[in-house]
Chain A
Amino acid sequence: MKILPDTSFFLSLLTFGVEEYFVISPSFTRLAADVEIQFCPPDKLKPKPAVKDLVFGKTFTEHMLEIQWVDGEGWHKPQISPFHNLSMHPAAKSLHYSVQFEGMKAYRGVDGKIRLFRPDENMKRMNRTAERASLPTFDGEELIELIKKLIRIDQEWVPHSESSSLYVRPTLISNEDALKVEQPSKALLFVILSPTGPYFSTGFNAVSLLADPQYVRSWPGGCGHTKMGANYGPTLMIQKEAMKKGLQQVLWLYGPDHRLTEVGAMNIMIVLKKKNGGIELVTPPLDGLILPGVTRLSILEIVRSWPEYEVTERDITMAEVVEASKEDRLLEIFGAGTAVVVCPVGEIHYMDKVIKVPTMQQEKPLYKKVYNAILDIQYGRNQHPWAVPID
């Protein structure tokens, strides 16, 4: 009789034949193989609109994935079923205290195949966030397999034209119906998909930023490094302030030295000409205030492989940006995120100054180079392990 070393396995092990062991064990991550699927019947399918009418975040596909977790029982069987509203008790914990989510995309490549971009990174981040949110963790590889199956079922929602994509939104909430601010005993993991038509790059347009140090997105010891709903809701008001002033995004500053942290809902990248001549790509370090973006990580890894650039993860302050601008050493500033990949910045309104950023005036801008490099991988022009086929 063979006994497995992990103690969360219970009791009797019976050996049947050379390769099989039977174990009775009530609580551990279920395998993707156990998913229960209920297909949307033909008469309930939603007609597909013209591609131009696919609205990101408003058009959803016909199926969704749900996995319930109960303390003491672990994860229940995953279910793929027709897209439906969730029924929540008014005291459901997440309605009151928090929600966490993830965001990633699957791309229809030039060869017609659909690929997920670095899903393993999103899974790791989701688990880190779950720990911080006191929500249950799960097996990332299994969730990726389930997401692949969900996408396979709904893949015809992605147009066959090049550069169409599917936004994947995994979400983790507590649907325990108890108000007390304590460790949740029930949780629900669900995944929904939203298709987007071809993203026609009619050229980039630089955005203008409001940099007002009185507004703080995240702080040391907080949860700014996790993807929780709580980090996004409060930003809407400041976004409105920026728009009132005729500006497009918010540059989040932190601390008495006005460190640049993020822009809008994206990580921030700054390209400087160093005093000694070299070109440096700077981005704030992952010290707890910054969301570890997958696009951010990909850009850093790609640019590190290009010898003509120096890449540094370090703090950068507004004072440094102002000085670099005065000395004509500020080359580019751009945001980095899943939705647009890169977002060039044209000017920053900071205190009583307007700092012009010559991002769009560069001859061979770095933001364009990384944009092309990443898209080539996502759309399969460059076969790369970061792009994972769904089958």
Chain B
Amino acid sequence: MFSKVRNLITVKNGVSRISSSQLSTSFSNTTKEPGRVVFISQASDVYSNLALEDWLYRNWDFSKRHVLFLWRNSPCVVIGRHQNPFCEANIPYLESAGVPIVRRNSGGGTVYHDDGNLNCTFFTSKQSYNRRHNLSVICDALRKDFNILADINEKDDIVVNSSLKISGTAAKLGGNSAYHHCTLLVASDKMQLKLALKGDRTLKSNATKSVPSSTANLQDFAPDMTVEKLLESVGRNFLNYKTTEEDDHESKTDVRSDGFTLINPTEDWFPGLDEIKENLKSWNWFVGMTPLFKQKRPVTIDQSFSEGSAILVSIEVFHGIIKGVTVESSVSQALKEYIEKQIGNTIVGSRYAPEIFLDIESRLIEREPKPQYYSAH
């Protein structure tokens, strides 16, 4: 009998209090609110981090514990699920600079990442999904620890001084689980960002287009801020966040919190991760998911041609495969057919690459027999 009673006792400020409604397992969260934990990635490559995000989303149930995953990438570009990478980024520049460009699983626009920005992914059950709440946790952290007053606009961007965007948001909802991720610009290299995100304007596409906005770095408003400090601040606020109805005077650690932990996103810690990474790197995913687009460019032709020195040719690409070639300028029927059918047949069905127009040009130059075309007019 004594042990049963003893089990009902808690001690607070030297005074013992018994509540018969509480059982001895009261330490485990009787609030029935989900627990909270912050994961910090040890990796800085975008493939490992995005793959881990997907792995957690596919394999875990977040109804009992919400996870905030914090990660940073070495310079890279991340496009939204339904975007056209060629429209959104300067692919040749990125290739020459060795900067990876990746298509993520969630929708939305294109972002440039480097180690001056912090990525936050909030994992919850589908029912508990709440973007505004997550963004409030961040705004609270900015206010309490850095004296920055930030607002959330109607697009769920976090803005400072009403117009300068310091964060962009995207999300994915599934059957049981959901995640909301956002970037936080602390000290990002704005010049690299501009160079990287200069897309190809000769492309016309129905894919989701990024909406450009004026951005700022948080360091502009708080010079002492570093990504590490912001990481700790956002993490702590997430762990201890109390809704307005709750007692905010409790300085004791929230019982729901499991603190911070480092995550090593590799296959041995998370079996199945490598497969997800391989898929992210694959052509089928990165280019193959691109919606229908048309690209129109001038193609230089032989000087001896009476048509002029360049004609406009457009190609149609669907899921990264060239579907058709069309001559847009008015030219002779013979030339039109030559380009659309002869050359077209050799390139239709092959994979799109930005150099495809050079390919068309070189095939025009190599064409045989030349005399036929000279006598077109």
A residues within 8 Å of B by Cβ?
Answer: 4-6, 19-25, 28-43, 45-52, 62-63, 77, 112, 139, 141-142, 145-146, 148-149, 152-157, 159-161, 197, 391
Contacts and interface: CB of A to CB of B under 8 A. Distances in A.
A146 B19 CA distance: 20
B232 A141 contact: no
Contact of A42 (B1, B27, B40): B40
Given A42-B260, A145-B27, A21 B18 contact: yes
30 contacts: A4-B2, A6-B6, A20-B17, A20-B20, A22-B18, A23-B17, A25-B9, A31-B24, A32-B25, A32-B26, A34-B10, A34-B11, A35-B27, A40-B260, A41-B232, A42-B260, A45-B261, A45-B262, A48-B42, A48-B262, A50-B266, A50-B268, A51-B269, A62-B261, A77-B11, A145-B27, A152-B35, A156-B263, A160-B271, A161-B271
B28 A154 contact: no
A159 B261 contact: no
Given A29-B6, A42-B228, A145 B24 contact: yes
Interface string B258-296: 111111101011110000000000000000000000000
A156 B39 contact: yes
B214 interface: no
B261 A47 contact: no
Instruction: Please indicate which of the listed interface residues B9, B18, B60 has the most CB atoms of chain A within 10 Å of its own CB.
Output: B9
Interface residues of B, number: 53
A4 to B, nearest CB: 6
B356 interface: no
Nearest to A198: B268
A323 to B, nearest CB: 50
B354 to A, nearest CB: 39
Contacts, number: 143
Contacts of B150: none
Given A48-B42, A145-B25, 13 more contacts: A6-B2, A19-B19, A22-B18, A24-B14, A31-B24, A33-B27, A34-B11, A37-B253, A39-B253, A146-B27, A148-B28, A156-B39, A156-B262
B235 interface: yes
Interface of B: 1-3, 5-7, 9-12, 14-22, 24-28, 35, 38-40, 42, 59-60, 64-65, 228, 231-232, 235, 239, 252-253, 257-264, 266, 268-271
A391 B21 CA distance: 20
B16 A23 contact: yes
Contact of B27 (A24, A31, A50, A156): A31
Chief secondary structure at chain B's binding surface: mixed
Contacts of B39: 156
Given A24-B15, A160-B270, A43 B232 contact: yes
Instruction: Please indicate which of the listed interface residues B19, B38, B257, B260 has the most CB atoms of chain A within 10 Å of its own CB.
Output: B260
Contact of B232 (A23, A25, A42, A112): A42
A391 B42 contact: no
B26 A31 contact: yes
B11 A20 contact: no
B27 A47 contact: no
A121 B295 CA distance: 72
